[in-house]
Structure 1
Amino acid sequence: MHPTPAQPHQASHDREIESLAEFDEVVAEHGTLARFRVQAVDLTGRTPALLELDTTGSVFLGCTMEPEAAARVRSSGALVFPPVPGLPFDPYRGFVYTPDELYESLDRDYGATPDARAYSWFQRTKADGDVFASMLRAIHDDTVSDALDELLAGARVVGVMGGHALARGSAAYAGAARLGRELARAGFTVATGGGPGAMEAANLGAYAAPFDDAMLDQALELLAKTPSFRPSVTDWARAAFEVRERWPGGGESVGIPTWFYGHEPPNAFAAHIAKYFANAIREDGLLGRSNAGVVFLPGAAGTVQEIFDNATPNYYESRGDSTPMVLVDEEHWTRELPAWPLLRSLARGRRMESRITLVDQIESAAEALKRLCD
């Protein structure tokens, strides 16, 4: 995966500039900004360059500039989309989020964090019919998708799906964490819906992958003191950051949550968080980027939806490129919520039939996925 914003990366598109370091690189190497796309970069310290360089056909998305620099690049043929004041998020951002960014000001209270403030803004604007607000949400989600594609370029991504209600301290939560750890140690990039419960557990497991096995046991014990994000998201999130502070430098994974479900805060164990306003884009993006397969832990309506959202492109796949699907817990998926019989019936006689399986124990899930990948 690509580095975080603190470590500028080479954008996948050679005309994109997403950091000040990339801006300086381009200026030094090319001596022009013509036809480049500059995204969410603070250029207030680069006025001399902007007054001199050719900006014909370039686009500046949410870049802060001195007034004279902005006027000059416009007059030289650039298209400038200025920053939007008063927003709790940057619609033009060039990178996915980090836990520290979304939870800034958690020392005061969760309500003061950018994550909570973005959700409040979404609640105020999602039904008011304001085309400007809906445009900002769409731009934000598109830039997040672009950043996520760059982040995951070349990665073998395994999605782990499951319910948000799974409590810290439970045997099932510990099992999901061990699954995330095993997948990460096998070289997969773990991706989840980025929220609490099974999603947090899998991201925690990936975070624990570089440490010895005892670290995860100790982390699970610490987290069990705050089993749920209810009644206090603040206490729940602080417990996760306590684990991160005690064991810094954990393994990387991805969380893809949504403000659509504002009652589900993002978990702090995913190093990279691609958070969306539109849940449909989020769901499709999570499953579509799970190119090495998906593990479905016991869940409710959302997880059932994800099973068949993932099965649909596999059903119609004609080249043999369907992704593996592993369902965990025979009792749950055959009797409580009988998704497995329907999935098996859909797969019968099609290429995807050899790429789906049901396992009873979570301890078997990682091995089952690896077999299906071979």
Structure 2
Amino acid sequence: MTIKRRVTADEHLLDSRRSDEWKRKASWRVMKIQAEFVEGFDKLEEAELGDAIGVYGSARTPVGSEEYRLGVELGRKLGKAGFSILTGGGPGAMEAANRGAAEAGVKSVGLGIELPFEQGVNDYVDIQLDFHYFFVRKVMFLKYSCGFCALPGGYGTMDELFESLTLVQTEKVGKFPIALIGTAYWGGLVDWLRTSMVEQRKIHPDDVELVLVTDDVDEAVEHMGTAR
């Protein structure tokens, strides 16, 4: 059976071929965007998360894999250190971090996103928000997290990681801690930052130091503690 691909709200917003439709519905779409911000702010303020860590990672991480186990350990140890956990709410690494948070008895948040093919929110989320627009969801991550940990992931993880790094590097936000978990996975990226970006003077050598790369979950948790 062929599953029909859904057209997302982001696609409606950004597709230049829909300019006539945009002109007709511009006011309505702006109000829809505004409503997502208001709902997100209201629900997360009401949740009183306290210090919270945003955890990024792949939805494709298999349950029972070493990466999944690492995500559970990370969520649990962050929880025991007194942090709430925010993820994208999906399966894989996100589920693992939410699971660890649930085991630690801390608030476990899933910031879901509308996609052409639904993923659904994992069973370990106790505070759920669903967004149509990626940029609204990113604002929620940045506003309600005091630090970020990235487990191995794909384009979405890279997008969220570099958004965070850019805001720190340009001093648009405070210097909240960022940790990459998994040296074998992330090492090549950090080497490229040094050998390409730094050597060609696209970034300053100090910019590479904005991120901690480690295999030690305890070290990552300790690094998150510098946000306090």
TM-score normalized with structure 1 length? 0.49
Q: Which amino acid aligns with 2:38?
A: T
**Residue aligning to 1:367:** 222
Report if the CA contact (8 A) 1:206-1:253 is conserved.
Answer: yes
Structure 1 residue 122 displacement after superposition? 5.3
Runs of 4+ in structure 1 off by over 6 angstroms are none
Structure 1 residue 136: Cα displacement: 5.9
Which of 145, 149, 152 is equivalent to 1:298? 152
* Greater share of residues in strand: 2
Alignment of 1:343-358 (within 5 A): 345=198, 346=203, 348-349=205-206, 353=209, 355-358=210-213
**Cα distance, 1:364 vs. partner?**
4.0
SS of match in other structure, 2:113: coil
Q: What's the CA shift for 1:133?
A: 6.1
Letter in 1 for 2:61: L
Matched, 1:162 2:57: yes
Q: Which residue of 1 aligns with 2:193?
A: 342
> What is the count of residue pairs matched by the alignment?
208
Indicate the structure with greater helix content.
Answer: 2
Q: Distance between the aligned counterparts of 1:201 and 1:189, measured in 2?
A: 14
CA offsets 1:217-257 (integer angstroms, 9 cap, x no match): xxxxxxxxxxxxxxxxxxxxxxxxxxxxxxxxxx4211111
Aligned counterpart for 2:175 among listed residues 322, 332, 335: 322
| TM-score with structure 2 setting the length | 0.77
Q: Which runs of 5+ in 1 are unaligned?
A: 1-118, 211-250
In structure 2, list runs of 5 or more residues that go unmatched: none
Write the distance in 1 (CA, Å) between the matches of 2:204 and 2:82.
28
Which residue pairs with 2:123 in the alignment? 268
Q: Supply the distance in 1 between the matched residues of 2:139 and 2:132 (Cα, whole angstroms).
A: 13
Contact 1:298–1:332 (CA under 8 A) maintained in structure 2: yes
Alignment match of 1:310 (pick from 152, 156, 164)? 164
Contact 2:91-2:119 at 8 Å conserved across structures? yes
Q: How far does residue 362 in structure 1 lie from its aligned partner after superposition?
A: 4.2
Q: Which has the higher contact order (CA 8 A, sep 6+)?
A: 2
Structure 1 residues 334 and 273, CA gap change in structure 2 (3 angstroms): same
Find the structure with the greater CA-based Rg.
1
Which residue of 193, 199, 202 corresponds with 2:88?
Answer: 193
Distance in 1, matches of 2:61 and 2:123, equals: 16
The 1:253/1:154 distance shift into structure 2, 3 A limit, reads closer
Shift, 1:263, TM fit: 2.9
Aligned pair 1:178/2:35, yes or no? Answer: no
Aligned alpha-carbon RMSD (Å): 3.1
Distance 1:340 1:327 in 2: 13
